[in-house]
Copies of this chain bind each other. A is one copy, B any other.
Amino acid sequence: MANALRLGIAGLGTVGGGVLDVLQKNGATLALRAGIPVEVTAVSARNPSKKRTQDISKLAWFDDPVALAMSDGIDVLVELMGGEGDPARSAVEAALKSGKPVVTANKALLAHHGVALAKLAESKGVALAFEAAVAGGIPIVKTMREALAGNRTGKVFGILNGTCNYILTKMGDEQRSFSSVLAEAQELGYAEADPTFDVGGFDTAHKLALLTSLAFGTEVSLDDIDIEGIESITLEDIGNASDMGYMIKLLGVAVAHEEGIEQRVNPTLVPKGSPVADTSGVFNAVVVKGDFVGDLFLEGRGAGAHPTASAVVSDIVDVARGNLRPVFGIPAKDLRAYRRAPAKAHVGGYYIALELHDRPGEVAAIARILADEKISIASIVQRAPRSEQPRTTAPFILITHDTLELSMRAALQRIERDGHAASKPRMIRIERL
């Protein structure tokens, strides 16, 4: 290695700029921590003439990130382009094949091709580091891969998307609808023009797939995640949940069961006062349950140029210090095949929102159906309708004790089939943590 660690950065967007900021501001201390000066020598981006806050005129410019990856002028490829396909994928493969360590923030690439890329990196004996790909500035990858090395993890879950958490927080704090807050988030740049990837839960799923592999030593399996977004969450849901002592958060949850692994992304009721419930705004949070450490909770900024750059630089220092670990904690060849737990494996409490016909016997009928399915009720809220208009239906909200998901679904099917509900019943999981 030269007398400096030479970085080639592919992608000079928000995060790329953040990394340049870190090196510029804290470069001296960084050299002491890394044991060698760290400098960017080459870059690749879409537009050479784009106005940038940093001066990149002295850096070698590559139009083709793959050429950058193979260049002898760099020791490490820092891939910040994003996207599961090319050019990110081919650039990362090219760097690894040429024996260069890769630091990336690309969750999509790893969620889709993580195991193959890990095998390639490990066969070459170089690092493929992705701290920045999950929960931004929160060092959850290093924590699970290194700090919890002595533990068997039983469960990992968290708030992994700041946009969704911002929207849900604002809805509750300001009593505003999903669409109104989303529009504001888009103006503020917290949400994309097409918000589906965030609010639909897909971004959370990508990150969860990587945490699941780190947690259980299994192959990454994005396709085995049940995904549900926050689009259907109403102010009424948030209000009802609050009355019963809960907040609604979009959680990514992975649990190891006897029968296999359960991975899901869905809006979830979490008890007020719990760390996850208190994680508000754009912040992210992760809870890991290890057999020796117990419950470990991390909270921090899950996105943004500087928090994400902090994670990227952490990986760069690991490379400089020769801290070489298997990409997913254990060698990729030893990762167990992913086995999906049957839906029945899930046991938990549920929030059920029904719109019942306002006529005698309906509540009794609901109670009977739940009893038939051996579902016991923890609490019931029947709210006065908000409108002044006379109504033929009434909202009926209940929270159940722990029950099998299958029983819950069966009960809701009967409630619909027997015509008790004026609109489709809504069900939200409860995570008692």
Most buried by B among A139, A151, A325, A329: A151
The answer to whether A137 touches B309, judged by C-beta atoms less than 8 angstroms apart, is no
**Quick one: given A29-B330, A139-B147, A278-B278, are A298 and B298 in contact (CB under 8 Å)?**
yes
Interface of A is mostly: mixed
CB neighbours (8 Å) of A22 from chain B are 150, 292
- Assembly CA distance A138 to B137 (angstroms): 17
CB neighbours (8 Å) of A21 from chain B are 292
Q: Is A326 an interface residue (CB 8 A)?
A: yes
Copies in the complex: 2
Q: Is A34 an interface residue (CB 8 A)?
A: yes
CB neighbours (8 Å) of A142 from chain B are 142-143, 146-147
The answer to whether B32 touches A317, judged by C-beta atoms less than 8 angstroms apart, is no
The answer to whether B295 touches A301, judged by C-beta atoms less than 8 angstroms apart, is yes
Interface size class of A (residues with CB under 8 A): 35 or more
User: A315 to nearest B CB, angstroms?
Assistant: 10
Q: Is A266 an interface residue (CB 8 A)?
A: no
The answer to whether B139 touches A143, judged by C-beta atoms less than 8 angstroms apart, is yes
User: A27 to nearest B CB, angstroms?
Assistant: 10
Q: Is A25 an interface residue (CB 8 A)?
A: yes
The answer to whether B150 touches A131, judged by C-beta atoms less than 8 angstroms apart, is no
The chain B residue with its CB closest to the CB of A324 is B321
User: Which of the residues B291, B294, B317 comes within 8 Å of A25, measured between beta carbons?
Assistant: B291
The answer to whether A294 touches B307, judged by C-beta atoms less than 8 angstroms apart, is yes
User: A114 to nearest B CB, angstroms?
Assistant: 17
CB neighbours (8 Å) of A317 from chain B are 146, 149-150
Q: Is A195 an interface residue (CB 8 A)?
A: no
User: Which of the residues B146, B296, B301, B325 comes within 8 Å of A138, measured between beta carbons?
Assistant: B296
14 contacts between A and B (CB under 8 A): A25-B152, A26-B150, A30-B149, A33-B326, A139-B143, A146-B314, A148-B314, A278-B278, A291-B306, A292-B306, A294-B306, A294-B307, A295-B300, A323-B323
| Given A33-B330, A139-B148, A150-B317: 8 more A-B contacts, CB < 8 Å | A29-B152, A139-B296, A142-B142, A142-B147, A147-B314, A275-B278, A297-B297, A318-B323
